Amino acid sequence: MQMIKRFFSHSLSSEAGDQTAQNESPAKPLGTCVGDSKSCPEGGRLHAKIEGRYVSVLRIDGKLFCIDSICFHAGGPLGIGDIEDVNGHKCLVCPWHFYKIDIQTGDKYYQGLEFKDGKMLGGEWKSNGVRQRVHPVVEESGKIYVTLSTQPDAEAAATAAGLLGCGGPTAACSPSSRVESDGYAFDAQCGDRVLNSPPSANRAKVHSVGADGRKPSGQVLRGQYKS
Ligand code: FES
């Protein structure tokens, strides 16, 4: 699905024939429509290509999030990764090398190690910083809109969204900053793996790992999770 038309609140009003609204309040940036609300129910996902950039929208715990679909590390299909809760942070787990990326902030997490009682043990989860770009996403009149955080009005869009879903653009995901995922963001071969993924690739269930601040439990297996 590729939709590049960008919407403002007035464009919705005028389409509905409501000219009055245009005289009462300034236009509110909505962004690019990526689909109907009902096409992204709780636990659902939408993948879209906006101005050549591949992005994935997820609805988790009633909130919408939008993040670059292609993994910053080596171009993996991050957008179809499993979702894990790492100490309260909802993360996409890249199917290729299992990096955990925070869907709200774009942080990449890793688990530190501790040497204790002569043994090397899993320690606290820490962030390597923002590596994946996130984007403001808003829902209005039964449709979902994304504003790329590279666009000049991204901050206004985030405000208009009431910081719904992703809190972006964060300082690390502003139009002037470079985020590592920018490198693969437009790669058609990588992006099409996500965009053309079958519904079965988009798992809804959230798996909890590291909830104790330590290593994932023995129940967590690669590609085969149990709760
Ligand atoms: S491509 Fe290596 S973790 Fe995503």
Task: Summarize pLDDT for 145-197 with one digit per residue, the tens.
Answer: 999 989 887 777 666 665 444 445 566 677 888 999 999 999 999 999 999 98
Reading phi first (left if > 0) and then psi (alpha if -120 to 50, else beta), residue 161 is in alpha
Considering only residues 8 and 147, tell me which one the structure prediction assigns the higher pLDDT: 147
pLDDT tens string 215-224: 444 333 333 3
Res. 13: pLDDT tops 50: no
Task: Inform me whether the pLDDT recorded for 120 exceeds 50.
Answer: yes
Tens digits of per-residue pLDDT, 59-88?
999 999 999 999 999 999 999 999 999 988
Beta carbons within 8 Å of 17's beta carbon, 6+ residues apart: none
> Which pLDDT does position 180 carry in this prediction?
95
pLDDT at 119: 87
Give the pLDDT confidence score for residue 154 in this predicted structure. 76
Ligand 1: which of 67, 69, 70, 71 to mutate, judged by most atoms within 8 Å of the beta carbon? 71
Q: Diameter of the chain by CA atoms?
A: 73
Ligand 1 site, residue 94, Cβ cutoff 6 A: yes
pLDDT at 164: 44
Q: Tell me how far apart the alpha carbons of residues 161 and 145 are, in angstroms, rounded to a whole number.
A: 10
Mean of the pLDDT values across residues 20-27? 50
Q: What is the mean pLDDT of residues 101-118?
A: 90
Tell me the average pLDDT of the chain: 78
Cβ–ligand 1 distance for 99 under 6 Å, the answer: yes
* Ligand 1 centroid, distance to 128 Cα (angstroms): 14
Ligand 1 near 96 CB (within 6 A): yes
Q: How far apart are the C-alpha atoms of 143 and 7, rounded to whole Å?
A: 11
Q: Is the CB of 76 under 6 A from ligand 1?
A: yes
- In this prediction the pTM is 0.78
Distance CA 194, CA 7 (A): 25
pLDDT in the model for residue 173: 76
Q: Look at 210 and 188; give whichever has higher pLDDT.
A: 188
